[in-house]
Amino acid sequence: MQNETTWTEFLNFYTNQNASRRTRLGVFELNKDVVNDYWIEDGLPLAGLSMDTADGATTVHVTIGEMTHEVKDAIKLTAHFTSSGYEDGLDIFDRDNRVTILRFESN
């Protein structure tokens, strides 16, 4: 993604296409030579994706159910689309070498 407008338009589109789909949300981070994975939730419906650029840093907000997870200092978005839809999702990379993984559960 190239700029704030592009990210905002994409996140709005992605939300409209995937609203209410059940999700899995996790964070992977590199800690020395080890990758730690933290799974935050499993099964909540996607409510929305949005972003802001307060203080010159991009923050992406992932709202699932009643919970919002923030990815501060986001630098890259990667969308995944599959023919089955099972591994569809979004990866959000931040400046601290973490990646937030949003995946959709099969119906």
Beta strand 98-104 with 74-80 is unpaired
Question: Over the chain, what is the mean pLDDT?
Answer: 92
Q: 29, 27, 79: which is closest to 49 by C-alpha?
A: 79
Residue 1, pLDDT > 60, answer no
| CATH number where 82 lies | 2.70.180.10
Domains contained in the chain, number: 1
Find the domain containing 57 and state its range.
Answer: 4-104
| pTM of the full structure | 0.90
Q: How confident is the model at residue 40 (pLDDT cuts 50, 70, 90)?
A: very high
Let me know if 92 is exposed, middle or buried by CB neighbors in 10 A (0-12, 13-18, 19+): buried
Q: What is the pLDDT of residues 55-72, one digit of tens each?
A: 889 999 999 999 999 999
